[in-house]
Amino acid sequence: MANSITFLGTGTSSGVPLIGCGCPVCLSEDVRDKRLRTSAYLQYEGLRLIIDAGPDYRQQMISAGISNPDAILLTHAHMDHIGGLDDVRSFNYLQRKAFPIYCENAVEEVLRKVFYYAFNEPKYPGAPDFEMHGIKAGVPFSIHGVEILPVRVFHGKMPIIGFRFGSLAYLTDVSHIDEASFELLKGVNLLVVSTVSYKKHHSHFSVSEALEAIEKLAPRQAFITHVSHRVGTYTEFSSQLPEGVFVAFDGLNVEF
Ligand SMILES: [Zn+2]
Ligand SMILES: [Zn+2]
Ligand SMILES: [Zn+2]
């Protein structure tokens, strides 16, 4: 079976439409302008992986018909990437075991605060059951023998993780990539990278910064995610991008 990525959510932290906003993007009737919080589902070398589990996680699992994933990988501990983790309870129930979560220690520390009830001993019956696996930037790890490379990127001042799966790299909430990480990302054919606006932002690539990173890595195809209403509608934003660079949208599936 081919490797593929399905974009489960491609919206910035507030999602699109933004609650209460009456701008043309938020009022657009194009389904590609309805963006849940950023998350992806990967089928990679026989693994079924979820990247990030924000507040729309439950809806995303149901819409994509995901029934038996192997693990959730977390990029960082902002709420739009972890807020839905309580709902791994469904997989605990169906799989009758703790659910594997892969993240850096700093992310686990936040999970222990936000989801304190899942870590309490003795365990409250029905609380989510997380099987925590620590990962380190730049150090490959394996799930069922399949290797994945966590790559250090920066989200403002915060060090976070992007992931490389063979020829695919997935980088969300990134505002800086240092040279050592560019080296680790060399040769990717498919690059997923985030942006939120044309204007410079303290913790996210602007559109031009995202395009610079794409140009530097020169993948065959690049997809933009974590999109906000500030970049225009899907159609408007798409028309501004160079050849080979596409705006991702919820439900899009791409083979790699
Ligand atoms: Zn985010
Ligand atoms: Zn809006
Ligand atoms: Zn973030």
How many angstroms is it from 23 CA to the middle of ligand 2? 4
Whole-number pLDDT of residue 54 = 98
3 state SS of 48: strand
- At 92, which CATH number? 3.60.15.10
Q: Are 66 and 41 in contact (CB under 8 A)?
A: yes
Closest by Cα among 224, 217, 219 to 197: 224
Please give the pLDDT value at position 125: 87
**Domains contained in the chain, number:** 1
DSSP structure class, residue 35: B
CA distance 51 to 98: 18
Q: Taking the C-alpha atoms of 34, 40, 41 and 44 in order, what is their torsion angle to the nearest 10 degrees?
A: 140
Q: Distance of CA 159 to CAs 40, 165, 181, Å? A: 20, 20, 12
Q: For residue 204, is pLDDT > 80? A: yes
Whether residue 95 is predicted with pLDDT greater than 80 in this model: the reply is: yes
pLDDT, position 123: 87
Cα–Cα distance measured from residue 50 to residue 132, given in angstroms and rounded to the nearest whole number: 15
pLDDT recorded at residue 128: 97
Cα-to-centroid distance, 165 and ligand 3 (Å): 21
When pLDDT is averaged across residues 33-38 and rounded to a whole number, the result is: 98
CA distances to 66, 81, 160, 226 from 40, in Å: 11, 11, 17, 11
pLDDT attached to residue 37: 98
pLDDT for 90 equals: 96
pLDDT at 237: 98
Instruction: Reply yes or no on whether the pLDDT at 1 is more than 80.
Output: no
Residue 173's nearest CA partner among 39, 27, 7, 43 is 39
Q: How far is the centre of ligand 2, averaged over its atoms, from the C-alpha of 63 (Å)?
A: 24
CA of 107 to the centre of ligand 1 (A): 14
CA of 248 to the centre of ligand 2 (A): 18
Whether 86 shows a pLDDT value over 90: the answer reads yes
Residue 33 has pLDDT above 90, yes or no: yes
Residue 43 belongs to domain spanning: 4-255
User: What pLDDT was estimated at residue 57?
Assistant: 98
Q: What is the pLDDT of residues 59-85, one digit of tens each?
A: 999 999 999 999 999 999 999 999 999
**From the CA of 254, how far away is ligand 2's center (Å)?**
27
Beta strands 4-9 and 141-143, pairing class: unpaired
What does the angle CA 229 – CA 232 – CA 236 come to, to the nearest 5 degrees?
150
Structure tokens, 116: 């304190």
**Sequence-separated (6 or more) residues with CB below 8 Å from residue 46:** 1, 144, 146
Average pLDDT over residues 93-98: 95
Stretch 81-90: mean pLDDT: 98
**CA-CA distance, 1 to 6, in Å (whole number)?**
15
Distance CA 5, CA 185 (A): 17
Task: Count CB neighbours of 182 within 10 A.
Answer: 14
Report yes or no on whether pTM surpasses 0.85: yes
Question: Which residues share a beta bridge with 246?
Answer: 223
Measured in Å, residue 238 CA sits from the centre of ligand 2 at 17
pLDDT value at 251 more than 90? yes
Give me the mean pLDDT over the 153-165 stretch: 98
